């Protein structure tokens, strides 16, 4: 009898517990960046994607309610060298005429702490979708001086560009490849509730 009473009490608590509503944020492009780094012979080239948009849902301490999706315009790639950027937009690399966007959709969050988590999701580049895991640093949430609710994160991941069909390369006279395979991606994201 006591067992039935205990079960009934638990069920009653669950039924009357208020639902958790995640706060929906829009990525603030003015305070967010999408950057990457890749080896070129004996050094590294850094670049950015200047046009992107997305949303995320966040509840502090409730990683089961965290989710995000984002779209990057591949043609907005910027390495500060126009000739190189034109080549990167071509069929040798991103082929932006056929594959204009890069997308990410989260699937789950694991290993969550107050300071960070692992953000799992599906990344699509060059028309090829691959699962990836981003290291997520949580910077917190709060209101700015104008009363806007904001939240911020840093996400990092290293991918192999060949897994996304970006295979172009050249062999130089020393026998080395001109371009590395690993790409380090860093996203500095600040969201705002609108």
∠101-102-104 over CA atoms, to 5°?
135
Lowest mean pLDDT among 20-34, 123-137, 145-159, 162-176: 162-176
How much is the pLDDT for 141? 94
Q: Per the domain annotation, does 107 fall within a domain?
A: yes
Is pLDDT at 6 greater than 70 in this prediction?
no
Structural domain boundaries, residue 124: 20-192
Q: Are 98 and 128 in contact (CB under 8 A)?
A: no
pLDDT, residue 176, reads 73
pTM, two decimals, is: 0.86
Reported as a single tens digit per residue, the pLDDT across 170-180 is 887 676 778 99
Q: How far apart are CA 70 and CA 26, in angstroms?
A: 10
Does the residue 54 lie in any domain? yes
pLDDT in tens, 35-75: 999 999 889 999 999 999 999 999 999 999 999 999 999 99
Question: What does the pLDDT read at residue 69?
Answer: 98
Residue 1 lies in a domain: no
pLDDT tens digits along 108-123: 999 999 999 999 999 9
Sort strands 23-27 and 179-192 into parallel, antiparallel or unpaired.
antiparallel
Kindly state whether residue 80 falls inside one of the protein's structural domains.
yes
Give the chain's length.
194
Question: Is residue 173, in this structure, part of any structural domain at all?
Answer: yes
Q: Where residue 115 sits, what CATH number does that domain have?
A: 2.40.128.110
pLDDT of residue 18: 45
Q: Please report whether residue 62 resides in a domain.
A: yes
Q: Which of 97, 93, 99 is nearest to 170 (CA)?
A: 93
In a domain, 89, yes or no: yes
In a domain, 6, yes or no: no
Domain count, the chain: 1
Q: What percent of the chain has pLDDT over 90?
A: 81
């Amino acid at each position: 009898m006591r067992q039935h009473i205990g079960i009934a009490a638990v069920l009653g608590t669950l039924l009357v517990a208020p639902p958790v509503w995640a706060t929906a944020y829009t990525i603030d492009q003015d305070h967010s960046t999408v950057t990457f780094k890749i080896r070129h012979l004996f050094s590294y080239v850094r670049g950015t994607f200047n046009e992107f948009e997305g949303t995320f849902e966040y509840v502090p301490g409730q990683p089961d309610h965290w989710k995000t999706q984002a779209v990057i315009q591949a043609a907005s790639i910027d390495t500060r060298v126009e000739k190189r950027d034109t080549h990167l937009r071509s069929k040798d690399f991103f082929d932006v005429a056929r594959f204009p966007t890069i997308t990410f959709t989260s699937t789950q969050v694991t290993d969550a702490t107050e300071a960070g988590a692992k953000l799992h999701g599906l990344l699509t580049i060059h028309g090829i979708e691959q699962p990836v895991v981003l290291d997520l640093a949580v910077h917190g949430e709060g209101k700015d001086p104008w009363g806007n609710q904001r939240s911020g994160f840093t996400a990092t991941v290293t991918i192999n560009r060949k897994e996304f069909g970006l295979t172009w390369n050249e062999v130089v006279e020393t026998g080395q490849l001109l371009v590395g395979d690993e790409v380090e991606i860093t996203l500095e994201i600040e969201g705002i509730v609108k």
